[in-house]
Chain A
Amino acid sequence: MAVAQPTVGAAPRKRPSRWQTMWKSISIVFESRVATIGMAMVLFWVLLAFISLFWTPYPPNATDFVQNLPPNATNWLGTDHLGRDLLSRLMQGTQVILLKTRLPFANISFPIGVAIWGVIGSVIVGAILGLNAGYRGGWWDQITMQILDALIAFPVIVLYLVVIAALGQGDLVVILAITITGAPGVARLVRSLALDIKTRDYIRAAETRGENVWYIMFVEILPNARGPLLVDSMLRVGYAIFAIGTLGFLGIGLPPPDPDWGNMVNEARKSIFANQTAVIWPSVAIASLVIGLNLFADGLREELTRYQK
């Protein structure tokens, strides 16, 4: 039998604890095989990132070994063209994407990685624009969406180059670049959700209460858009990782000293005749994390939109 429904006049049931309700909402992931596999892939990298905070096999930037070694017993994944341990560098490379963002001045980092901050940025900007366009409609809608459509029409790489050329390299600049390229897409999604939600009676009720426009947009509409928005952001984290990889490959991504997957691919490419395997590891890392996020998001979307009783 399915999950029991609360019924009227039923004997007073014990309210489920917070942990139980949380577990219930997480357990939805396991309903879908796709989402479970995706989550496992993502968790693998998150775990690796956490481990690398405290321990890597060797210091990632130490040039302790022979150059361009293939995988062997000491260096499981081999070494690069400067004789650095690839496994250590791969592990450390997860940090900037998922766990920390480095500030340009001093030597300080703050938590949560560049890819995720970039997505948070585009969701915030996109939500504000999309809500205004969708709920207010009329000229707001026309002007906002025309500008955003124009922005979408630019090739993304060109946009990245423009931002980085104007502001220089750095973690914050990459975040800004991801925000600018991601916001129009989020805005479109939020707008379409807002257009639908604003026709509901509870929005009429808020209006007949004389609520402020911002209250209606952020308190009445936005929370009901969270499902699709969550799934979309997860996909976007994948795209952001992709974008960081691309920028790194072009040599304009995250600055050293921390290793960057895209940059690792680029450097290994140069010595591909000496060591064929070195190019594979960072590529597989990028691909598996992005695919993991995609599978997770897809499975979750399917499960969330499925009929449930």
Chain B
Amino acid sequence: MAETRSPDNKSPVLKLDNVAVAYKVRGGEIEAVQNVSFEIARGEAHAIVGESGCGKSTVAWAILNFLGANGYVKRGSIKFLGQELVGKSGEELRRLRGDQIGMVYQDPMQALNPSMRIGEQMKEVLTVHRGMSDDEAADRCIQMLERVYMPDAANVMKRFPHQISGGQQQRVVIGMALLNNPALLVMDEPTTALDVTVEAAVLDLIAELRRDFDTAIMYITHNLGVVARVSTRVGVMYAGEMVERGAVEDIFDSPQHPYTQGLIRCVPKLGADKASSLLYPIRGRVPPPNNRPSGCVFSPRCDYVEDRCRDERPQLREMPNRTWVRCHFAEDIDPAKWTPAEDITVPEIADGDGKKDIILQLDGLRKYYEVQGSSLKDVFGMGEPRYVKAVEGASFNVPRGSTLGIVGESGCGKSTLIKTIIGLESSTEGKAEFMGFDITTNLDDRNEKLIQELQMVFQNPDSTMNPSYTVFQQIARPMRRFSTVPREQVRSEVLKLLEAVRLGENYLERLPRQLSGGEKQRVGIARAFASRPDLVLADEPVSALDVSVQAAVLNLLLDVQREYGTTMLFIAHDLSVVRFFSDYVAVMYLGQIMEIGPAEAIYAPPYHPYTEALLSAVPIPDPNVKQKHIRLEGAVPSAISPPEGCRFNTRCPRRELLPDPDICLTTPPWRETDDGHRIFCHHTLETLSSFEPVIETQSKKESQYAS
């Protein structure tokens, strides 16, 4: 069972053998993680990938003994540099952790102490564990900050965490973790809270540091794209067990376990759209830790399940291509012959039927928020009013029945734009019409009919439903409120909607806490469609969901949209999801729409330089894809005083190509192609078209999973 082969005589830095972790909870015990074994050698980045609730973080906490008061390692051994960690006292572990093991967590703002200067926090690592003098420690810290490409390192030492950006904070945390030159670096979703362009730069940094410091990295993530970019080896976790482990290329090229295959199938490829490719969700959901099947944990969701799988728990065993798989029938499964199971329906896509009446029309829509200054003058209301320019001059048309996707990094104004359209905020300036009605006002001034026609799907599944009411009550409410259906038909109508979102009658009386995230999101969708709106605005409806669930919800949204002929605005930060889902795409930066046009046109040249940078930053779940390397410098400027002219001019990597770069300080013209693709840039279309495509696929096997 234990892996004896080590490629180059190096003994592993970390070795887990048959580890099981249990939590004591009210009325019993839950085994969150079972039978996990893997090892990490020096200079190796071992990714642990899996959906939420699969025990990835629990494994990391077990290594660091951060399980909390109610968790403990029940079985197995964790060896770090040959020492057994299980059963070590708190003090010994504390010493070891600070000295030999570094940690980087998801949210840098929470990892850094907000009331201490960055320099103080970093120096503490060295003065406590290395006994260094203060000055010496300060020098080392500055060197380290420079090493992680922190601009103006000496100055950053004097700042507080809130004074630097999120990406910079994460660099500080990574730098801090490396200060003692640890043998092992545990990273738990270190880039999940960051924007794509920032994420890309941090991932580059991690890859580089791994080579330079020769550190073993354990990298936990749910994002297959990130795995492909940073890691050398991968372990796939499912329901507390490691189901597959191997080199990153092998896992992506020929996944052996049905779960891994399913996982790769349900991620939209960048460049895939809903007409040419389909998403295949994995049916069902991850079983809760107290209710796992007795045989193979994946058996209830597996397409190849046989009786043996239900009775006998498979062992992790080595395959001919040196990957380790926990499946009885791994040799017999050929993913190329896979066909979708019958109970998974995949939406058929109606072609654009030529009907092009415009349902939503924006012209120069602006939304400014006034901000309160802090000077004495401002307190008395005499200061100059200052504004956050959240949305600046948004103009576009949306034809009936189509979907406009809006992408951009956080703070680019996409949510504000949607809030203004739906009326949670009133607009500051400009025109906005919905089916000929003015919608620049907020909800208080809109009439009932108009309110009914615009509905919204929200991002966070945990807060989209009111925890006090049943599914039925929540879906029925809009129907009763707008009297869209006669009173006695409400129940049957709710059932019909539930059916449309693939939930059965037994869900009617359930409360939100009895539903999973994906189910809550489906109810949220049903509620949005309950008043038969003509326009549904979806604010990151799938970004909080696991990939297998995300695919199901996306399919469902497409389905419901087709059935009701609804127009949609779809916000997401994930470019592949937007590409998959939308007919038109708008790219926003700092409140400004930079590029807008048919979806396929956005993802191929001519690009706006910002779109180009975005595309080259997206992590792609395929190690064979070649991506252009463009990284943006600096941080997004403040929306209170955005750069003059083109708002992107301070960071634009293509600015120097212009004969006169100063022209960027003037407002750029809209460059328009024949198919309605518009780019807000000083570069001519010819120049923009001459850029090579960002993504080149060299893979021959692409069709294997895509069709």
Contact = CB atoms under 8 A, between A and B. Distances in A.
Contact of A1 (B28, B285, B422, B460): B28
A208 B291 contact: no
**Most-contacted residue by chain B among A207, A210, A224, A306 (CB, 10 A):** A210
B468 interface: yes
A116 B469 CA distance: 28
Interface in B16-36: 25-30
Nearest to A199: B463
Contact of A9 (B284, B290, B460, B481): B284
A209 B478 contact: yes
Interface string A196-213: 000011101101111100
B465 A202 contact: yes
A158 interface: no
B443 interface: yes
Interface in A1-60: 1-9, 12, 15, 31
A257 interface: no
Contact of A209 (B291, B460, B481): B481
A171 B506 CA distance: 50
A72 interface: no
B466 interface: yes
Contact of A308 (B25, B448, B477): B25
Interface string B401-427: 000000000000000000000111000
A9 B504 CA distance: 9
A220 interface: yes
Given A5-B290, A210-B446, A202 B28 contact: no
Interface in A246-272: none
B477 A306 contact: no
A7 B455 contact: no
Nearest to B514: A6
A209 B456 CA distance: 9
A202 B290 contact: no
B443 A210 contact: yes
Nearest to A200: B463
Given A2-B27, A2-B30, A2-B290, A201 B463 contact: yes
Interface in B262-299: 284-285, 287-288, 290-291
B555 interface: no
A273 to B, nearest CB: 54
Interface string B452-486: 10111011100111111100000001100110000
Contacts of A226: 468
Given A205-B464, A208-B454, A209-B477, A3 B27 contact: yes
Interface in A141-194: none
**Most-contacted residue by chain B among A2, A15, A207 (CB, 10 A):** A2
Contacts of B154: none
B448 A210 contact: yes
Interface in B484-522: 506, 509-510, 514, 516, 519
Contact of B451 (A1, A4, A208, A224): A208
A94 B460 CA distance: 49
A224 B467 contact: yes
Nearest to A13: B506
B531 interface: yes
B527 interface: yes
B602 to A, nearest CB: 28
A211 B451 CA distance: 10
Contact of B468 (A3, A6, A224): A224
Given A208-B443, A308-B25, A4 B466 contact: no
A138 interface: no
B51 to A, nearest CB: 15
A7 B424 CA distance: 36
A210 B455 CA distance: 10
A222 B554 CA distance: 33
B443 A207 contact: yes
B466 A211 contact: no
A306 B29 CA distance: 16
Interface in B569-584: none
A204 B458 contact: yes
A197 to B, nearest CB: 9
A201 B460 contact: yes
A254 B514 CA distance: 48
Given A208-B423, A210-B446, A6 B510 contact: yes
Given A204-B456, A208-B456, A209-B478, A7 B464 contact: no
B30 A309 contact: yes
Contacts of A8: 284-285, 516, 519
Given A200-B463, A223-B468, A306-B26, A205 B458 contact: yes
Nearest to A12: B506
B291 A201 contact: no
Contacts of B424: 204, 207-208
B176 to A, nearest CB: 29
A208 B454 CA distance: 8
B33 to A, nearest CB: 15
A196 to B, nearest CB: 11
A2 B26 contact: yes
A9 B503 CA distance: 10
Given A205-B458, A309-B25, A7 B287 contact: yes
A7 B291 contact: yes
A306 B28 CA distance: 15
A171 to B, nearest CB: 34
Nearest to A307: B25
Contacts of B455: 208-209
Contacts of A201: 458-460, 463-464
A3 B514 CA distance: 12
A266 to B, nearest CB: 46
Given A9-B284, A201-B459, A209-B478, A224 B25 contact: no
B25 A2 contact: yes
Contacts of A205: 456, 458, 464, 524, 527-528
Interface string B424-461: 10000000000000000001001010011011101110
A127 to B, nearest CB: 15
Interface string B533-564: 00000000000000000000000000000000
A220 B466 contact: yes
Contacts of B29: 1
A307 B482 CA distance: 39
B566 to A, nearest CB: 15
Nearest to B447: A210
Interface string A279-309: 0000000000000000000000000001111
A8 to B, nearest CB: 6
B467 A209 contact: no
B423 A224 contact: no
B505 to A, nearest CB: 10
A128 B458 CA distance: 29
A208 B422 contact: yes
Contacts of A9: 284
A2 B506 CA distance: 23
A220 B466 CA distance: 7
Nearest to B444: A210
A4 B443 contact: no
Contacts of A7: 287-288, 291
Given A4-B291, A309-B288, 4 more contacts: A2-B28, A201-B464, A202-B465, A208-B423
Interface of A: 1-9, 12, 15, 31, 200-202, 204-205, 207-211, 220, 223-224, 226, 306-309
25 contacts: A2-B27, A2-B30, A2-B290, A4-B290, A5-B291, A7-B287, A7-B291, A8-B519, A200-B463, A204-B424, A205-B524, A207-B424, A208-B423, A208-B454, A208-B456, A210-B446, A210-B452, A210-B481, A211-B481, A224-B467, A306-B26, A307-B25, A308-B25, A309-B288, A309-B290
Of all A-B residue pairs in the complex, the 7 with the closest CB atoms, nearest first, are: A201-B458, A223-B468, A210-B451, A200-B463, A202-B466, A201-B463, A201-B464
